[in-house]
Structure 1
Amino acid sequence: MRNCSRQRPGGFTLVELLVVIAIIGVLVALLLPAVQMARESARRMSCQNNLKQLGLALHSFHDGHGGFPPARVNATATSCSWPPFILPYIEQNNLFERYRFDLRWDDANTNDNGVIQTTIKTFMCPSCPYRKYDRAPIDYPPPNQITTPNSFLTRLPNPDATFPGVLGKDVRRRMADITDGTSNTLLLAESAGRDPLYQMGRFISLAGGGRGSWGNPGNVINLTGFNPSTNSLPGPCAVNCTNNNEIYSFHPSSANVLFCDATVRGMRANAPLQIVSDLITRADGESVNSDSF
């Protein structure tokens, strides 16, 4: 006797297919932020490792030369920044031998002809967006100046208010000069993404001029503070508001900083301007609690 019952065709119905697609979409929506967070966590750790390596290199230079290198040498004919001095300590001996310390950092026939165009991964934070540059950048300049007006600071740096940081201008400072304590004083900090100018996470312009170059003696952090209300300097914001010579990173809610004892920590984006100023100064007698930044 023939079985007259209707056989169901194989495969998915349209409704079942739509349900499966919807489930996959929900899973992707749930998992994608977690994947992005994991990737950013890895990039943040890589950035911290870069700073750690630079800290060890600066300590090695200090031990070998009796002091830290200057943040910048401003002599007209031989101006340069601090990174060329530590090249041998980050496995860049060949580049160090090619660099001409007897000439300007941007001498067209020597230093600015293939030397400072060389990208060094240790100098670059992996969280930075892609950028096109003529001179290879460094995302970790020294915070060595404070020009914040009195209206934003209750305590001004003292002594040497113009260059109160550790890596100074035309001077080789020693550990003994850091009387505030090596664990209480900044050595390097993120000011990432230059040459381009960023404010509050937004691209503003291609500033240019090689100001983010590892060879440029002007590549320093000059704490002025940023005013988010007017998008201008000066202001009360000290961290992650602009990379215009201020502390700035592309990590969510914080920026990585290196202390003089070679420890690396995250500094909150809402760290008070006064606290950041106190951490930059090497000898103003202020003690800063780590919970305050």
Structure 2
Amino acid sequence: MKRSRCSRKLLGFTLVELLVVIAIIGILIALLLPAVQAAREAARRSQCTNNLKQLGLALHNYHDVYGVFPAFNSGTTCPWDSSNHYRCNYGYMAAWVPLLPFYEQTARWQQVTSTLTVGSITYPPFGPYAYEDYGRGWPPIQGQIALLLCPSDGASRQLPAPNRQGFTNYHLSFGDKIYNNYMATNPRSPFGRLVWKGFQDITDGSSNTIAASEGLVGAVANRHRMVKGGTAAAQTGLSQNPAICYTRVDPNNRSMLTGTVWGYRGRYWAEGHAHVQGITTVLPPNGPSCACGESQWCYWGVYPPNSNHPGGVNVLMCDGSVRFVSETIDTGDISAPEPDGIAGFTRMDSPYGVWGRLGSMAGGEAVQSF
């Protein structure tokens, strides 16, 4: 008996059917990928928020013990000389160092307060000048403290060697002070040089005053040339017209800076210079950073916080809460001079809108919702 050829069925896909299936899969991936990426960023932003809350808790616990917040920079002093860089820190120890025992880094703090000998160098308590390589051999600052990194930054993929100082994404606030902000003994914010302020000084209200925010590490990839992460150096006139910083943004590529640039932002977690860590509430979040040009070693300037979170940054308020601030927040007149050099300036209204008012602790301003 003969079999009919018509009764036989072909098995498998034709080329056209295969291409259709591949196209459908590609479309589904294209539709789902943004949602997956958004979910991952939401998780990273949540972790960043939690990090800031932990640092806020550390600030509050420190205040409970001492009645004040730590100074922006403090420490030991000795005559300025390169031979002394290992004998004292010149009062530039960042606030994250005395806060160590309040965010579960007691072992590091015990090393900080001890005399340590490494090779031929004997480090006194509170250690050496932690800028660049001077503090490289001092054990307490070596390695990365996980709490000081925001997962959205991506800097964890390019961490320094274990014997080098770790990064920080989190910076205390100078408020709307520009001139000599990291050396200020009469700060607009709760944090100045060798100045210890407490809740009693925050008359604008702790829920209306920024304590800290975030910034991308400038030492990784090509960020030293980027608006988010880099610093345009040697810019004169900043305290009289902060908007001049925008002239350092490349007109052909708005994500890049021009001229001499630095990549020190967040590079040294224990070093208390403005161009390393510290934020201002003058230019808006994700705006350009500029250091002054009034002298060869000029480090004060405008340093807005920045992040890889879409549309803005996380900020830690003095009451311990964390808020997300949009990069489009009201900044008033950014071409106005800073409120400095005037009697009673610490109680003056900020010219930099809601953003500036959030930075001052005793300006007497009414802060609108943000």
Within 5 Å, which residues of 2 pair with 1:119-130? 119-130=144-155
1:98 aligns with 2:111: yes
After superposition, the Cα gap between the structure-2 partners of 1:88 and 1:206, relative to the gap in structure 1 and judged at 3 Å, is farther
Which residue identity lines up with residue 14 of structure 1 in the other structure?
L
Separation in structure 2 between the aligned mates of residue 192 and residue 173 of structure 1, nearest angstrom: 27
1:199 aligns with 2:217: no
The residue that corresponds to 1:284 in the other structure is 363
Separation in structure 2 between the aligned mates of residue 283 and residue 64 of structure 1, nearest angstrom: 23
In the TM superposition, residue 224 of structure 1 has moved relative to its aligned partner by: 4.8
Secondary structure of the residue aligned to 2:138 is helix
Separation in structure 2 between the aligned mates of residue 246 and residue 12 of structure 1, nearest angstrom: 58
Instruction: Kindly provide the CA deviation profile for residues 254-278 of structure 1, in whole angstroms up to 9, marking residues without a partner as x.
Output: 1000001100010001112222111
Instruction: Kindly provide the CA deviation profile for residues 131-168 of structure 1, in whole angstroms up to 9, marking residues without a partner as x.
Output: 4444311111111153569xxxxxxxxxx896211122
The residue that corresponds to 2:37 in the other structure is 36
The residue that corresponds to 2:268 in the other structure is 213
Decide whether the 8 Å contact of 2:173 with 2:359 is kept in 1.
yes
1:268 aligns with 2:293: no
| Number of aligned residue pairs | 269
After superposition, the Cα gap between the structure-2 partners of 1:180 and 1:111, relative to the gap in structure 1 and judged at 3 Å, is farther
Decide whether the 8 Å contact of 2:170 with 2:215 is kept in 1.
yes
Decide whether the 8 Å contact of 2:56 with 2:316 is kept in 1.
yes
After superposition, the Cα gap between the structure-2 partners of 1:189 and 1:210, relative to the gap in structure 1 and judged at 3 Å, is closer
The residue that corresponds to 1:255 in the other structure is 313
Identity of aligned residues (%): 34
Deviates more, 1:28-37 or 1:270-279: 270-279
Within 5 Å, which residues of 2 pair with 1:45-60? 45-60=46-61
The residue that corresponds to 1:173 in the other structure is 197
Decide whether the 8 Å contact of 1:193 with 1:243 is kept in 2.
no
Secondary structure of the residue aligned to 2:174 is strand
Secondary structure of the residue aligned to 2:5 is coil
- Structure with more relative contact order (C-alpha pairs < 8 Å, separation 6 or more): 1
After superposition, the Cα gap between the structure-2 partners of 1:200 and 1:214, relative to the gap in structure 1 and judged at 3 Å, is closer
Show structure 1 runs of 5+ residues with no match.
150-159, 226-237
Of 78, 88, 95, 2:101 maps to 88
Secondary structure of the residue aligned to 2:171 is coil
The residue that corresponds to 1:114 in the other structure is 139
Separation in structure 2 between the aligned mates of residue 49 and residue 285 of structure 1, nearest angstrom: 30
The residue that corresponds to 1:232 in the other structure is none
Decide whether the 8 Å contact of 2:282 with 2:355 is kept in 1.
no
Secondary structure of the residue aligned to 1:266 is strand
Deviates more, 1:178-187 or 1:163-172: 163-172
Separation in structure 2 between the aligned mates of residue 135 and residue 206 of structure 1, nearest angstrom: 21
RMSD value over aligned CA atoms?
2.7
Decide whether the 8 Å contact of 1:143 with 1:221 is kept in 2.
yes
Decide whether the 8 Å contact of 1:137 with 1:194 is kept in 2.
no
Show structure 2 runs of 5+ residues with no match.
79-87, 114-124, 230-254, 291-302, 332-351
Decide whether the 8 Å contact of 1:123 with 1:139 is kept in 2.
yes
After superposition, the Cα gap between the structure-2 partners of 1:66 and 1:111, relative to the gap in structure 1 and judged at 3 Å, is farther
Decide whether the 8 Å contact of 2:153 with 2:217 is kept in 1.
yes
In the TM superposition, residue 43 of structure 1 has moved relative to its aligned partner by: 0.3
Deviates more, 1:2-11 or 1:179-188: 2-11
Which residue identity lines up with residue 257 of structure 1 in the other structure?
V
The residue that corresponds to 1:67 in the other structure is 68
| TM-score w.r.t. length of structure 2 | 0.66
In the TM superposition, residue 9 of structure 1 has moved relative to its aligned partner by: 2.3
Separation in structure 1 between the aligned mates of residue 96 and residue 185 of structure 2, nearest angstrom: 24
Separation in structure 1 between the aligned mates of residue 96 and residue 315 of structure 2, nearest angstrom: 17
Deviates more, 1:201-210 or 1:132-141: 201-210
Which residue identity lines up with residue 28 of structure 2 in the other structure?
L
| TM-score w.r.t. length of structure 1 | 0.82
Separation in structure 2 between the aligned mates of residue 11 and residue 116 of structure 1, nearest angstrom: 64
Decide whether the 8 Å contact of 1:128 with 1:192 is kept in 2.
yes
Which residue identity lines up with residue 23 of structure 1 in the other structure?
I
